[in-house]
Amino acid sequence: MYGTQSKIDLAIEYKSQIPILRPSIHSRRANITVKFQDIYGFTVEGNVDDVNVLNEVREKVRQQGRAWWALEANKGANWYLHTTIGEGNALKSSLKFSALVNAITLKKLIRKGIPPVLRPKVWFALSGAAKKKSTVPESYYNDLTKAVEGKVTAATRQIDHDLPRTFPGHPWLDTTEGHAALRRVLVGYSFRDSDVGYCQGLNFVAALLLLVMKTEEDAFWMLAVLLENVLVNDCYTNNLSGCHVEQRVFKDLLTKKCPRIAAHLEALEFDISLVATEWFLCLFAKSLPSETTLRVWDVIFYEGAMVIFNVALAIFKMKEDELLLTHHIGEVLNVLQKTTHHLFDPDDLLTVAFDKKLGSMTTNTISKERKKQEPEVMKELDERSKRLNSFQMDEK
Amino acid sequence: MATIGHNNLNAKLVLLGDMGAGKSSLVLRFVKGQFLEFQESTIGAAFFSQTLAVNDATVKFEIWDTAGQERYHSLAPMYYRGAAAAIIVYDITSTDSFSRAKKWVQELQKQGNPNMVMALAGNKADLEDKRKVTAEEARVYAEENGLFFMETSAKSAANVNEIFYEIAKRLPRAQPAQNPPGMVLVDRPAEGSRAASCCS
């Protein structure tokens, strides 16, 4: 076996020490920038307040771990692995009352965060990855990676190009071993679904999956379930049509849920896709701090892709006052970038994202919106490609 | 669109070109004076701004650095719409990236702002021993198509500030007056309102 089952040992998780800062320097603390590694090995640059927030977050993660263990003691080991989500009808008939209680408990619990040690197991079971894997022979992943070894395609060339450009400087991802693991996952997937092949952005998603899942094979199945079941179709294919659809749905949602922001941004001629495209394609992996991103993913894997809309809306909503004061596209981008980069406390974001005031959204309403936008997007993309082809004909 | 307030000009600039040609590296060199051997891949696009002094005026560039992979092409109009300038980047060690640059030029000529200042940048000029596209070939192409051309190296910094400086110099100053009479700018109904609110 060539390392495909090897555990990624992120010793840094326990080793990294965040400096504890003394109150004596409070007066000038806002000016001090410190660099350190977070629990997933990413270098974070922040001021002393950020460091303190991160320390508080660590403590909250520990408390949340205790909540999970307590429930485990109460409801039995792995209770959460046998619970399905309560969207609509599924629950009514088939499940007993206790299962319903469990489902509600689990939904709440997951919104408060899955402890990092449990993430691989919980994600794998609840996302549907385990089920997907169970439908093919045990050796599927190894056979796939062996079969495609040494093959060169447009996708493999692009993957090779992007390996060192995926979280450069990360203590594991940016090593020969890390590159090789990421390569096998991405190349394997490019052969599994040749319509997707390789799309830039997936490198960041797969890299984070590797860091969380610890084994390459599990990361591969998480990527598969994400693209094939969780996200809208065609997010990453050919002309990113799925992503275009999502952007339109999001624009409509922002207009409905945050009309003042939407109107202000429109007056500035700020198209929200300018910033939201990256959020949707990388699932925030490039914009939010790692633990915050993974807390968002906790909920995505349990509740579905509409969570991306909740979170994206929340980012705008949190900064409503500041955004309304902007006069220029550059300022809007600065506000949003500064906000996302400093969201070290996942609860700050998720509380707003799931606040009743934003109004509830269901997978159903989002699906309806998507169906509404789809024909228009397809028509536009089609017209555009016709126009581009016609220039090229002119030249010949 | 370039907008004017006193002696200050705001100009939207977009970088287009093949994946890995060095678009982000050129921007990073220009904006922060830095170079990274491996620059994180750009998804969607990234935004930067930088101000240059040209003669007695300043030009504030609002730079959109776009993703290079072919399938991101469908997002590009959002970034080049209303741009006052574009830098089309190719990698002198890749003929494919040069062909792709030509396609971008073609698209901008048909779809972009007609007054757009276009620059062609042959990047990675420090990799002379791996060169596949001659400077002569690119220069001839640029001349035929009304672009100005420079070979650049984000790594050594050669010609990076120069290309932005040259664009700044070429930006039309009193834009509305310079438009020939009878020219219809159908694509940009909001141009007037934008100019009025630009003094941020």
Q: Is A166 on the interface with B (CB under 8 A)?
A: yes
Quick one: DSSP state of residue A51?
A: H
Q: Is B188 on the interface with A (CB under 8 A)?
A: no
Q: Does residue B19 or residue A91 have the better pLDDT? A: B19
> What is the residue whose two structure tokens read 């797969």?
A206
As given in the structure block, the two tokens for residue A342 are 């400093």
Q: Is the pLDDT of residue B149 over 60?
A: yes
Highest mean pLDDT among A26-30, B72-76, B119-123: B119-123
Which amino acid, one-letter code, is at A236? Y
**CB-based contact A151:A157 (threshold 8 Å):** no
Closest by Cβ to B197, choosing from A164, A275, A327: A327
**CB-based contact A220:A186 (threshold 8 Å):** no
Q: How far apart are CA A89 and CA A146, in angstroms?
A: 43
Quick one: DSSP state of residue A240?
A: -
What are the chain B neighbours of A203 within 8 Å (beta carbons)?
41
Across the strands, what pairs with A270?
Answer: none
Domain A241-383, CATH number (from 3.10.129.10, 1.10.472.80, 3.30.1490.20, 3.40.50.720): 1.10.472.80
Closest by Cβ to B19, choosing from A161, A278, A391: A161
Closest to A109 in 3D by CA, of A288, A312, A295: A295
- Place A127 in a pLDDT band, splitting at 50, 70 and 90: very high
Residues 121-180 of B with CB under 8 A from A: none
Q: How far apart are CA A17 and CA A39, in angstroms?
A: 9
Q: Is the pLDDT of residue A268 over 90?
A: yes
The backbone region for B146, taken as left when phi is positive above 0, alpha when psi lies in -120 to 50, beta otherwise, is left
Which domains, and CATH codes, for chain B? 7-170 (3.40.50.300)
Contact B62 A237 (CB under 8 A): no
Task: Give residue limits of the domains in chain A.
Answer: 7-117, 130-230, 241-383
- Cβ neighbour number for residue B180 with a 10 Å cutoff: 5
| 3-class DSSP state of B179 | coil
Q: Is the pLDDT of residue B47 over 80?
A: yes
Q: Does residue A87 or residue B8 have the better pLDDT? A: B8
> What is the residue whose two structure tokens read 């192409």?
B141
Q: How far apart are CA A351 and CA A356, in angstroms?
A: 10
Q: Is the pLDDT of residue A12 over 80?
A: no
Interface test with B, best of A158, A161, A200, A378 (most B CBs within 10 A): A200
Q: State pLDDT tens for residues B80-108.
A: 999 999 999 999 999 999 999 999 999 99
Q: Which of A94-108, A365-379, B90-104 has the lowest mean pLDDT?
A: A94-108
Do the domains at A130-230 and A241-383 have one common CATH topology?
A: no
| 3-class DSSP state of B59 | strand
Domain A130-230, CATH number (from 1.25.10.10, 1.10.645.10, 1.10.8.270, 3.40.50.300): 1.10.8.270
Q: Does residue B198 or residue A149 have the better pLDDT? A: A149
**CB-based contact A302:A230 (threshold 8 Å):** no
Q: State pLDDT tens for residues A31-45.
A: 688 888 888 999 988
Q: What torsion do the CA atoms of A85, A86, A88, A93 make, to the nearest 10 degrees? A: 110
Residue B200 Cα to chain centre, angstroms = 23
Q: Is A270 on the interface with B (CB under 8 A)?
A: no
Interface test with B, best of A194, A240, A341, A376 (most B CBs within 10 A): A240
Contact A330 B106 (CB under 8 A): no
Q: Is A391 on the interface with B (CB under 8 A)?
A: yes
- Place A245 in a pLDDT band, splitting at 50, 70 and 90: very high
Contact B71 A329 (CB under 8 A): no
Q: How far apart are CA A335 and CA A330, in angstroms?
A: 9
Contact A161 B45 (CB under 8 A): no
| 3-class DSSP state of B90 | strand
Q: How far apart are the first and last CA of chain A?
A: 53
pLDDT of residue A51: 87
pLDDT of residue B177: 39
What are the chain B neighbours of A236 within 8 Å (beta carbons)?
71
- Place A184 in a pLDDT band, splitting at 50, 70 and 90: very high
Q: Is the pLDDT of residue B182 over 80?
A: no
Q: Are strands B8-17 and B57-66 parallel, antiparallel or unpaired?
A: parallel
pLDDT of residue A24: 46
Q: Is the pLDDT of residue A203 over 70?
A: yes
